[in-house]
Amino acid sequence: MKNIRKYLSVLMVALLLTSCEDFLDVNVDPNNPTVVTPNLVLPSAQKYTANLIHGTDAGARRINTLGNMMMYNWSQSDGFAWYPDEFKYLVTSSFYQGIFNDSYSSALKQYHILDMMEDSRYDYYKAIGKIMKAYHFQLLVDLYGDVPYTEALLRKDNATPKYYAQVAIYADLLVQLNAAIELIKNAETPVAVGDDDAMFGGDMEEWVRFANTVKLRILVREAGVRDVSADIAAIVTEGSGFITSDVMVQPGYLVEEGKQNPFWNFYGKDAGGTVTMTNNATCATDYILSYLAGTADPRIDRLYERPATGHLGVPQGLLDYDTPVPDAFMPALVSNIGPGLLKSATMGAVIFTLAESNFNQAEAVLNGDLTGDAQVLYESGIAASFSYLGAPDASTYYAQALPLIGWDASPNKLEAIITQKWIATNGLTAEQSWFDYTRTGYPTGLPKSLLGTSADRPVRLYYPAGELSANGANVPAQPNAFSVKVFWGN
């Protein structure tokens, strides 16, 4: 837990310097990075990262919500028209356009300030900026393909940045992450990072491990299109390893308006303690509940609230007039988001799960690119998911002689890894399982929305309308959102 009093004192300085009313919102010109010191930029950038994954204070949906809808985790209770575009797979230039816009205008802008620090005393901050830029740019590539890259954050110096090839961006992300690790290791007289770091509290060894973890995510994703063994070997040679706990943004969230954890603020209760409309509107699908119950998975009661009448899910796209029994799927009767996800208004905002890291390592071992025991890593991934959610006895669960649960009982090990990652990222970073589904086709048998008119769910997003109007000369021809995959999926 961060020192909230100290943090808020820093925050007040930032707010006074920038005349901004939003919590932890420090907006400065990236072309004038000396306007404010990096200890004031970093926490704002990290808050923006949490918002991009889990939603904004104003209630705008972002990446995790999209992933849960695409992967058939979440549906809609009766009496609401909350997710019509998601159920119709209505991918247009306005569909989730805030992901693209906010990535560049908020998080990446702030991290770029850190990356451009010229004073070597700020090498630790510069390294953090590079790592987090890589984290965000990978998400953008995975969602859109080609995107603005090296020219993207120059603002008035280049308001119409050119687009870079997705393969080239992926390659350079590894270069930037390696450079960040070298900066951390070779810094001579760096200014220490401390409580202003809302992720690792200034622990630079943890930042190196996180950089390696992001690198492995990149490499596992592109392993099907190129030989990544040398790059993974370099991670092993570096020697710091990977993350050992869930990576969270925790700036000292408070039960106050605009200061709550963004996921809780959107899907839990407002600062006054009133359950949000989005909480009432959002529930489990029938498929995910059937899957969890059918495999005796105790995470079911942590991922989803159990009503007094028992678990009940709703098929995506089921309309009121399709229901044989009126009001059968009212909020009080369906399984809304559960207590393992909605812990409190002050909980940390997860941006990278330990479970996913373990599953990525298991896949790399399975591919022959990393040494280790794939079964141990696979079971550790399941155990990490159980631990985060507060579910009992992971070992009893994965000891079952059931395919896609027990390692020995699973003839297709990759399918088991990806299927378990789908469950582990449910509600937390569900976009990762959407990318995996596009890449591998797992988990198999996943239904599509009743309102979806395509053969399957989308594989990418469209460039937003604002980008088309402001930078149309550089925006590539829009690939089909249902058939043209990002390069690692082809």
pLDDT tens figures, 145-170: 999 999 999 877 888 999 999 999 99
20: pLDDT strictly greater than 60: no
CB 306 within 8 A of CB 335: yes
Polymer length in residues for the chain = 490
pLDDT 10s digits, 25-36: 444 444 444 457
13: pLDDT strictly greater than 50: no
The count of domains in the chain is: 1
Give the pLDDT mean for 17-23: 35
Cβ of 237: how many Cβ atoms within 10 Å?
7
State the greatest distance between any 2 C-alpha atoms of the chain, in Å, as a whole number.
Answer: 70
188-197 burial: b if 16+ Cβ within 10 Å, else e: eebbebebbb
CB 458 within 8 A of CB 482: yes
pLDDT 10s digits, 367-388: 999 999 999 999 999 999 999 9
**Which helix (DSSP H) or strand (DSSP E) does residue 148 occupy?**
strand 147-148
Q: Which of 83-87, 112-116, 153-157, 445-449 has the lowest mean pLDDT?
A: 153-157
Q: What is the DSSP letter of 223?
A: T
Q: How far is 288 from 309, CA to CA, in rounded Å? A: 18
Beta bridge partners of 352: 247
Q: What is the DSSP string of 39-85?
A: HHHHHHHHHHHHHHHH--TT----HHHHHHHHTT-EEE-TT----HH
Beta bridge partners of 75: 283
> What pLDDT score does 158 carry?
87
466: pLDDT strictly greater than 70: yes
- Report the percent of the chain where pLDDT is more than 70: 93
16 inside domain? yes
CATH number at residue 205: 1.25.40.390
237 inside domain? yes
Give the pLDDT mean for 56-70: 92
3-state DSSP call for residue 192?
Answer: coil
352: pLDDT strictly greater than 60: yes
> Cα dihedral sign for 25, 30, 31, 32?
positive
Give the pLDDT mean for 320-325: 79
302 inside domain? no
270 inside domain? no
67 inside domain? yes
396: pLDDT strictly greater than 60: yes
**Could you give phi then psi for residue 406, rounded to 5 degrees?**
-75, 135
> What pLDDT score does 11 carry?
37
315 inside domain? no
Q: How far is 458 from 386, CA to CA, in rounded Å? A: 30
Residues 6+ apart with CB under 8 A from 307: 332, 333, 334, 335
Q: How far is 65 from 490, CA to CA, in rounded Å? A: 25
Amino acid at 291: Y
Domain that holds residue 190: 4-45+61-257+345-489
Structure tokens at 27: 């907006």
With both helix axes pointing from N to C terminus, report the angle between 431-440 and 413-425 in degrees, rounded to the nearest 10: 160
Nearest Cα residue to 124 out of 189, 78, 60: 189
330 inside domain? no
Query: pLDDT grade, residue 58 (50/70/90)?
Result: confident
User: pTM value?
Assistant: 0.92
Q: How far is 282 from 85, CA to CA, in rounded Å? A: 14
Nearest Cα residue to 432 out of 232, 214, 206: 214
Q: DSSP E strands: which ranges in 191-348?
A: 247-249, 282-284
293 inside domain? no
3: pLDDT strictly greater than 80: no
Helix extents (H) in 286-373: 286-294, 300-303, 354-366
Instruction: Report the chain's mean pLDDT, rounded to a whole number.
Output: 92
- Report the percent of the chain where pLDDT is more than 90: 88
